[in-house]
Structure 1
Amino acid sequence: MRIEDKITTAFVLASGPFTDGSLWDAVSGRLGAAGAEVHAVTFSADPESHAGEVLRLIDSAAAPQVVLVGHDYGLHPLLAAARQRTGRVARIVHLDTAPPQDGDAPLALLPDPATQALLRDRPQALVPAPAPGEWARFGSTAGLTPEDLERLSALSEPCPGAVLTRPLRLTGALAAVPSSGILCTASGASIAGVQQLVSSGMPQFQALAEPSVGFFELATGHWPMLSCPEELTAALLLAAAGGGRRLTPAVTRPFHERPFVLDAAEAPRVRTGLVDLHLPAAEGPRPAVLLVHGGPLPRGLTPTPRDWPLYLGYARLLAGRGLVGAVLDHRLHGLSDYPTASEDLAEAVGLLRADPRVDPDRIALWFFSGAGLLLSPYLAAPAPWLRCVAATYPVLAPLPGWAGVDPAFDPAAALPMAGALPVVLTRAGLESPEIAATVAGFLDAADGCGAAVELVDAPHCRHGFDCSEPTEEARGAVRQAMEAVCAHLSGRVPIRD
Structure 2
Amino acid sequence: MATYVLVHGGGHGGWCWQRLTPLLRAAGHEVYTPTLTGLGERAHLLSPDIDLDTHIADVVGVLTYEGLTEVVLVGHSYGGMVITGVADRAADRVGRLVYLDAAIPEDGQSLVAVAGMLMAAARAGSRVVDGVELVLWPDSDAVRYYGVTDPDDVSWMWDKLTPHPWKCFEQPLRLNDPAALTRIPRAEIHTTSSLAMSPPGTAEALAGKEQTWVVDAGHDLMVTAPKAVAEILLGLV
Per-residue deviation, 1:127 = 1.8
Number of the residue aligned with 2:156: 151
Alignment of 1:169-318 (within 5 A): 169-170=174-175, 171-188=178-195, 194=202, 196-197=204-205, 209=209, 213-239=210-236, 241=237
Structure 1 residues 182 and 56, CA, compared in 2 at 3 Å: closer, same or farther?
same
In the alignment, the residues of structure 1 paired with residue 18 and residue 167 of structure 2 have an alpha-carbon distance, to the nearest angstrom, of: 27
Following TM superposition, by how much is the alpha carbon of 1:169 offset from its aligned partner in structure 2, in angstroms? Answer: 1.2
Structure 2 counterpart of 1:91, one-letter code: R
Aligned to 1:91: 96
Match of 1:32 among 18, 25, 49: 25
- Judge conservation of contact 2:123–2:166 (CA < 8 Å) in 1: no
* Pair 198,227 (structure 1): closer, same or farther in 2 beyond 3 Å: closer
Work out the CA distance in 2 between the residues paired with 1:18 and 1:198.
Answer: 27
User: Deviation at 1:196?
Assistant: 3.8
Distance 2:58 2:13 in 1: 13
How far residue 116 of structure 1 moved from its aligned partner, in angstroms, is 3.9
- Alignment CA distance shift 1:194-1:237 (3 Å): farther
Larger Rg: 1
SS at match of 1:23: helix
1:22 and 2:22 matched: no
| In 1, Cα distance between equivalents of 2:151 and 2:180 | 42
Contact kept, 8 Å, 1:20 with 1:43, in 2: the verdict is yes
Displacement of 1:195 in angstroms is: 6.9
Letter in 2 for 1:109: A
Query: What is the deviation of 1:118?
Result: 6.3
**Per the alignment, do residues 166 and 112 of structure 1 end up closer, same or farther by CA in structure 2, a change over 3 Å counting?**
closer
**For the Cα contact (< 8 Å) 1:21–1:41, is it kept in 2?**
yes
Distance 1:237 1:37, change over 3 A: same
Partners of 2:69 and 2:60 lie apart in 1 by 15
Cα distance in 1 for residues equivalent to 2:57 and 2:29: 23
Q: Which amino acid aligns with 2:147?
A: T
Change (3 A) 1:167 1:229: same
Aligned partner (choices 122, 126, 141) of residue 134 of structure 2:
126
Instruction: Give the C-alpha shift of residue 172 in structure 1.
Output: 2.3
Distance change >3 Å, CA 87–CA 20, structure 1 → 2: same
Q: Deviations over 1:169-206 (max 9, x none)?
A: 1222211000000111122269xx5574379xxxxxxx
CA distance in 1, matches of 2:215, 2:26: 21
Structure 1: stretches of 5+ with no match in the other structure: 1-7, 200-207, 242-497
From the superposition, tell whether residues 9 and 132 of structure 1 become closer, same or farther in structure 2 (CA, over 3 Å): farther
TM-score (norm 2): 0.79
Name the CA shift for 1:197/1:231 in 2 (closer, same or farther; >3 Å): closer
RMSD across aligned positions (CA): 2.9
- Contact 2:36/2:55 (<8 A) preserved: yes
Which SS does the other structure have where 1:183 is aligned?
Answer: strand
Q: Is the 8 A contact 1:102 1:169 kept in 2?
A: yes
Whether the 8 Å contact between 1:106 and 1:165 is mirrored in structure 2 is yes
Q: Does the residue aligned with 1:188 lie in a helix, a strand or coil?
A: helix
Question: Which amino acid in structure 2 is aligned with residue 23 of structure 1?
Answer: C
Deviation at 1:237, TM superposition (A): 1.1
Counterpart residue identity of residue 181, structure 1: E
- Match for 1:73 among 59, 65, 78? 78
Query: Against the structure 1 CA distance between its residues 152 and 83, is the aligned structure 2 distance closer, same or farther, given a 3 Å change threshold?
Result: same
Q: Following the alignment from structure 1 to structure 2, what is the Cα–Cα distance between the partners of residues 128 and 177?
A: 31
What is the distance in 2 between the residues matched to 1:40 and 1:235?
18
CA distance in 1, matches of 2:160, 2:146: 18
Identity %: 29
Distance 2:156 2:142 in 1: 13
- The secondary structure found in structure 2 opposite 1:68 is strand
Which residue of the partner structure matches residue 394 of structure 1?
Answer: none
What does residue 430 of structure 1 align with? none
SS in 1 for 2:19: helix
Question: Structure 1 113/145 Cα, relative in aligned 2: closer, same or farther at 3 Å?
Answer: same
**Where do residues 367-382 of structure 1 align in structure 2 (5 Å cutoff)?**
none
In 1, Cα distance between the equivalents of 2:137 and 2:234? 31
- Flag the 1:177–1:42 CA change in 2: closer, same or farther, 3 A: same
Is the aligned partner of 1:141 residue 2:147?
A: yes
CA-CA distance at 1:112 after TM superposition: 5.2
1:62 to partner: Cα distance: 5.6
Distance 1:62 1:37, change over 3 A: farther
Contact kept, 8 Å, 1:125 with 1:160, in 2: the verdict is yes
Give unpaired runs (5+ residues) of structure 2.
39-49
Could you tell me how far 1:50 is from its partner in structure 2?
A: 1.4
Higher relative contact order (CA 8 A, sep 6+): 2
1:165 is the counterpart of 2:170:
yes
Q: Is the Cα–Cα contact under 8 Å of residues 84 and 104 in structure 2 kept in the other structure?
A: no
